[in-house]
Structure 1
Amino acid sequence: MAEITAALVKDLREKTGAGMMDCKKALNEAAGDIEAAVDWLRKKGLAAAAKKSGRVAAEGLVAVASNDLSAAMVEVNAETDFVARNEAFQTFVEEVAKVALKVGEDLEAIKAATLASGRTVAEELTHLIATIGENMSLRRARVFTVPSGVVATYVHGALRPGLGKIGVLAAIEAPSTSDAIEVLGRQIGMHVAATRPSSLDVDNLDQDAVARERAVLIEQSRASGKPEAIIEKMVEGRIRKFYEEVVLLEQVWVHDGETRVKDVVKKAGVKLVGFDRFQLGEGIEKVADDFAAEVAKVAGA
């Protein structure tokens, strides 16, 4: 029997997309014959994963996990919303969030971590692809840690605790943790889920976005025919309004409709040092699958 080398396992993985443990088992079953091992994997339904890797996965779930001073959030995508209701998929996404909490937000480190099943995260994902029959991917992860205080988590429309389609982390530094800070953190999470801020403060806002907004506002103001000195004041006023729309600390607190978030945080005697918001599938270009619409589009071209 041919020696089952690491190179042989790697070659089989590249051919089939199956997990390392499955490839090693297939090669053992096939006495080292790589083509026979491919057939063995195909018969087990484990070689199908590679064929699905080109399909768009924009559904799935966002999960959060936390401990005393840290919290993690991950997004794992699948092709259809149906998979998000699959218990095995839900459990996997929860496990991935717990892994991120331990190893950090680097995706390669997460994928290399070993789960209770004995497979790595990457191998378990490949196994799920083969078992469920849809392309899936670990898209992103975020981890916050504070020296003292709390990293609050919030999931909007949760399917079960910590698992849904919109997730938020809010890192709050405080002398200690208290029920009041926990409540504030959850309220900030709800606020962020609703308002979708772009940055924590003005200094961290994308300056290219500010420049583009300013250029648009200048052109709009000049159309009024007013003097340049007046136009400058008009633009600065509108830029402040822009900040109030996209900067978290400058936004109006959704829970009372009048107080600024920065004033809410200041009154609580804490410091909001970071946040992130994951909305499932945001930024992923979805493929149109409405055949009638596509035919109509072609016919009208």
Structure 2
Amino acid sequence: MSVTAAQVKELRQKTGVGMMECKKALTETGGDIEKAILYLRERGMSRAAKKADRVTAEGLVKVVISDDQTAGSVVEVNCETDFVSKNEDFIKFIDQVAKLALDNSVNDIDQLKALDMDGKSVGDTLTSLIATIGENLNLRRVATLKAANGVVSGYTHMGGRIGTLVLLEGATGEDVQEVGKDLAMHAAAASPRYLKSDDVNPAEVEQEKELGKKKLLEQGKPENMIEKILVGQINKFYKEICLVEQAFVKDPNYTVKKLVDEKGKGAELSAYVRFQLGEGIEKKQENFAEEVAAQLKS
């Protein structure tokens, strides 16, 4: 039988093994996913396949910027424990992956996994590293920003737990680079969720209005005043979550927009990326006392 791309993708997601190995396993097992997993476990990919369902919420976020500061990439690679994030092989891998992302302007994780790394694909190299280190690893996400006529700046915070990129388009030079560095640092500290208010999901704005209205009614505010009050509350909401409207962390007298307008030499803040290690990953909660008690009972 012919193996479909969907089958290869499913097996790859379940095992972390490279596409070619997954395709071969499915071909050998007649397209049976469970048999293909067993096939991989019986061969050189067995250690990686066994670890594929383990939670990976630790790791590193790596930021790299081109020498001319016109492009930058940020990648997140996860592992199971903080101990492995300090492993030399793990660090070397993420350094190489980030450089490949930058050199190839990658914004897609599958594209990144398919790139060549010392004669093997990035995905297959990752699988081999899983077997070597003994923990599940995950190349989770990647983003690249490029300037047509501008500057890309980056910042890494807390030893690789947060990484940011910002793109200032329309001007170059040391002054613009300095503003870019400040904004990349600001994005790490202030945790913006959107670039500007126009980008905010309308459903989220409506939800915020409904919550605000409910609270105002509970406080006994007159209905003819509620809409005016809500306008102010939504503007405050934008200032909390939109990068260009936030108060600049190094000088709250400036908004980010005002800072760029006054010191950016005509540049415009047109994009940003912020990766925080493990965000959105549900971590397993360990209870050591319960674990010991369970062991004593068994």
Q: What TM-score comes out, normalization by structure 2 length?
A: 0.82
- Greater shift after overlay, 123-132 or 199-208? 199-208
Change (3 A) 1:229 1:40: closer
Runs of 4+ in 1 over 6 A off after TM superposition: 13-17, 20-23, 34-38
Q: 1:235 to 1:290 in 2, by over 3 A?
A: same
Residues 230 and 89 (structure 1), Cα distance of their counterparts in 2 relative to 1, 3 Å cut: same
Listed as ranges, the gaps of 5+ residues in structure 1 are 1-5, 24-33, 159-163, 297-301
**Aligned counterparts of 1:74 and 1:139: Cα–Cα separation in 2:** 8
2:90 corresponds to which residue? 89
Change over 3 Å in CA distance of 1:272–1:246 after alignment to 2: same
Partner of 2:57: 58
2: CA distance, partners of 1:131 / 1:244: 47
Partner of 2:26: none
1:279 aligns with 2:276: yes
Equivalent residue pairs, number: 266
Q: How does 1:78-117 map to 2 (within 5 A)?
A: 78-101=79-102, 102-116=104-118
- Paired with 2:155 and 2:203, the residues of 1 have a C-alpha distance of 30
SS in 2 for 1:48: helix
1:72 aligns with 2:69: no
**Is the alpha carbon distance of 1:134 and 1:267 closer, same or farther for their aligned partners in structure 2, counting shifts above 3 Å?**
same
2:250 maps to 255
Q: Is the 8 A contact 1:103 1:110 kept in 2?
A: no
Task: Provide closer, same or farther for how the CA distance between residues 36 and 105 of structure 1 changes in structure 2, counting only shifts above 3 A.
Answer: closer
Q: What residue in structure 1 maps to residue 46 of structure 2?
A: 47
Residue aligned with 1:140, SS: strand
The answer to whether the aligner puts 1:225 opposite 2:227 as a matched pair is no
Which of 185, 193, 199 is 1:190 aligned to? 185
1:70 is aligned with what amino acid?
A
Q: Partner of 1:200: helix, strand, or coil? A: coil
Structure 2 gap segments, 5+ residues each: 23-35, 294-298
Q: 1:26 aligns to what?
A: none
Aligned to 2:165: 169
Closer, same or farther: CA 248–294 of 1 in aligned 2, 3 Å: farther
Measured in 2, the distance between the counterparts of 1:121 and 1:249 equals 36
Distance 1:36 1:62, change over 3 A: closer
Q: Measured at CA, do residues 258 and 37 of structure 1 come closer, stay the same or move farther in structure 2, by a change above 3 Å?
A: closer
Aligned-residue offset at 1:226: 2.6
**How far apart, CA to CA, are the structure 2 residues paired with 1:254 and 1:156?**
15
**CA gap 1:293/1:232 in 2 versus in 1, 3 angstroms:** farther
**Cα shift readout 1:242-281 (whole Å, capped 9, x = no counterpart):** 1111111111111112111111011122100000110000
Amino acid at match of 1:63: K
State the distance in 2 between where 1:37 and 1:151 align.
42
Cα 1:188–1:292 change in 2 (3 A) is same
2:63, 2:98 within 8 Å by CA — same for their partners in 1?
Answer: yes
Cα distance in structure 1, aligned partners of 2:54 and 2:279: 17
Q: Could you give the per-residue CA deviations for residues 120-177 of structure 1, whole angstroms, max 9, x where no partner exists? A: 100110011000000011111111111011110110133xxxxx110000011133x2
CA distance in 1, matches of 2:40, 2:236: 63
**Alignment root-mean-square deviation, CA:** 2.8
Asked if the contact 1:144/1:151 (under 8 Å) is kept, the reply is yes
The percentage of aligned residue pairs carrying the same residue is 43
Q: Give the letter aligned to residue 78 of structure 1.
A: C
